[in-house]
Chain A
Amino acid sequence: MRKKNRETPEVNGSSTADIAFLLLIFFLMVTTIESNEGIPRKLPPLPENPDEIIESKLHKRNVFEIRVNSSDQLLVEGEYASVADLRRLTKEFILNYRRNPNLSDDPQVAVVSIKNDRGTSYKTYIGIQNELAAAYNEIRDSEARARFGNVMDEITEDQQNEVKDKFPMKVSEAEPENIGGSK
């Protein structure tokens, strides 16, 4: 007579490690920890009339001009600068409020204009885009903190839009046709 509540024999678990290793190695092989982050930008639609240049309507002081040559050298508002200076210069330009006659009247009308050469490296171009984004993000963050007591990421969408409307990011890029090799 056998006992009624005899224990069932345990399943041998020594091979789970092997199975898991196999799967692990498979995933190690197929893994590419892919970057899915980046700097989002909107391209302007093609102008219907190629002769129409929007910038000509703007007052010169409200345009923050960045030129980059094929040796990745920057000319910001006519003066030599480096990518590292760009954030500070952009913030000065946006938050000028009519103080300096060469810088913007108001953040509402301030426009950043980038002209790059075909020989400019992509790294420098992204550096510029990144610094401009950083300048605007810092301005918006401090505005959000002053008005809503928190940084942009922590406030509601309506509040975010309010801040964005106050400091709209207007970046204009020259039509590639305009960048000649001369000069």
Chain B
Amino acid sequence: MNGRFDRKQGKKAPGISTASLPDIVFMLLFFFMVATVMRDSEALVQTNIPKASELTKLEKKEWVATINIGPPVPSYQAIKGTAPVLQFNDKFGTVDEVVEFVENERLQREPRIRPYISYALKVDKDVKMGIVSDVKQELRRANALKLTYLATAGTEDYR
């Protein structure tokens, strides 16, 4: 009898079909393509931003200029120390250079959108307010009054 169940003993098990592998990989690929924000500048300072619950999404990315404040990354600590410093785009800066940075950011953009530029402060949560206050004061001097304190969703633990 040639029933479908009495197969030969030595027959190989069929290989697992990999036909769906490309589909799975493409799915992951699309996820990362959508979620990706191209890294536009190398991080020179560590910015472990605080968690907060009342967050607002930033408007158009082209309208935002970011100022990073935090301790330098380990590879720069030998020359920069561990005290918090500023980073504009891809270079270190000081509080005195904030006004200049604001002017540059304005000039880089079309006149039409200049009034709408907002400044995102990406500040490490362990930084002291002294340097942040100084930066805020400089932003006021530069008449750059729209700012956002960047934070991630979540809740911080306060004693």
Residues on A close to B: CB < 8 A?
13-14, 16-17, 20-21, 23-24, 27-28, 30-46, 70, 82-84, 116-127, 129-130, 133-134, 137, 176
Contact = CB atoms under 8 A, between A and B. Distances in A.
B151 A119 contact: no
B35 to A, nearest CB: 6
B25 interface: yes
B141 A46 contact: yes
Contact of A39 (B38, B39, B149, B159): B149
Give the interface SS of chain B, mostly helix, strand, loop or mixed.
mixed
A35 B49 CA distance: 9
Interface in B110-132: 118, 120-121, 123-130, 132
A129 B149 contact: yes
A40 B148 contact: yes
Contacts of B121: 38
A118 B30 CA distance: 45
B53 A32 contact: no
Contacts, number: 159
Contacts of A121: 125-129
Contacts of A123: 50, 125-126, 156
Interface stretch (B56-64, B75-83, B96-104): B56-64
A41 B149 CA distance: 8
B25 to A, nearest CB: 4
Given A38-B148, A121-B128, 9 more contacts: A16-B26, A24-B25, A33-B36, A35-B49, A37-B150, A39-B54, A40-B118, A130-B151, A134-B54
A73 to B, nearest CB: 9
Contacts of B107: none
B133 interface: yes
Contact of B126 (A28, A32, A122): A122
Given A45-B140, A82-B159, A129-B149, A20 B26 contact: yes
Given A27-B32, A176-B133, A39 B37 contact: no
B21 A24 contact: no
A36 B58 contact: yes
Contacts of A28: 32
Nearest to A39: B149
Given A36-B61, A43-B136, A127 B156 contact: yes
